[in-house]
């Protein structure tokens, strides 16, 4: 069996969470961002997190959220990891880590090699870096836009921390993305949806099979 680690992000229903867990997802992402079609309420998130606890790593995905909001998520949902997907500074991540003792993942937007440099600053504080595609001009969402970048940019990258490839992945291209980039961790959201924000259990299963088989 492949040692590729897979995160299914933006899960919002019990049936798709069940599909992700049964198909072997290593990490499941719950989106706390009202502008996103994948946004979940705290009560929804608690139910979904309870399904996943002990079976997969629970990731709370946030965008420029204040400390009060982060504290509520930590207290009620008890995620294993908090993902920062906005313009948060490294100091903010450090503060949350000290306050909550939770693992930290930071998304870094990529379109060219120069964009990888800021990952070095975040890697000092974060436990994991998520390399996502830069959103298209005028996009409302910082991620989950189904946009890809040159996966070869990540080839041979050494941050001293684990990192994930995200952006434009789907069941048909994830094996190629893993081959080209050399990564051992991948993340998907829009690539396993039949409509924007609506996950598809069959696509989730297909993605996990393709990634794990790579």
Q: Which residues are catalytic?
A: 9, 132
- Within 8 A by CB and 6+ apart from 89, the residues are none
Q: Output phi, psi for 13, to 5 deg.
A: -130, 155
Q: Which among 122, 110, 212 has a CA at the least distance from the CA of 168?
A: 110
Dist. CA 161–CA 58, nearest whole Å: 19
In eight-state DSSP terms, residue 50 is: H
The answer to whether 90 touches 68, Cβ cutoff 8 Å, is: no
3-class secondary structure, 96: helix
């Amino acid at each position: 069996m492949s040692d590729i680690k897979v995160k299914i992000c933006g899960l919002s229903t019990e049936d798709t969470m069940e599909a992700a867990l049964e198909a072997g997802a290593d990490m499941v992402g719950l989106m706390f961002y009202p502008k996103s079609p994948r946004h979940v309420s705290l009560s929804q998130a608690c139910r979904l997190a309870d399904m996943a606890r002990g079976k997969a790593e629970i990731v709370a995905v946030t965008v420029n959220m204040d400390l009060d909001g982060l504290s509520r998520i930590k207290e009620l949902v008890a995620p294993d990891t908090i993902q920062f997907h906005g313009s948060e500074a490294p100091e903010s991540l450090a503060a949350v880590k000290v306050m909550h003792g939770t693992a930290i993942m930071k998304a870094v937007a990529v379109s060219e090699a120069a964009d990888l440099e800021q990952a070095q600053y975040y890697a000092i504080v974060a436990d994991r870096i998520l390399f996502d595609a830069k959103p298209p001009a005028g996009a409302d969402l910082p991620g989950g836009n189904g946009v890809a970048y040159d996966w070869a940019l990540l080839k041979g990258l050494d941050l001293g921390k684990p990192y994930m490839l995200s952006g434009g992945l789907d069941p048909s291209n994830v094996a190629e993305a893993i081959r080209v980039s050399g990564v051992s961790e991948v993340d998907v959201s829009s690539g396993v949806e039949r409509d924007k924000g609506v996950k598809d259990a069959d696509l989730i299963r297909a993605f996990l099979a393709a990634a794990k088989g790579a």
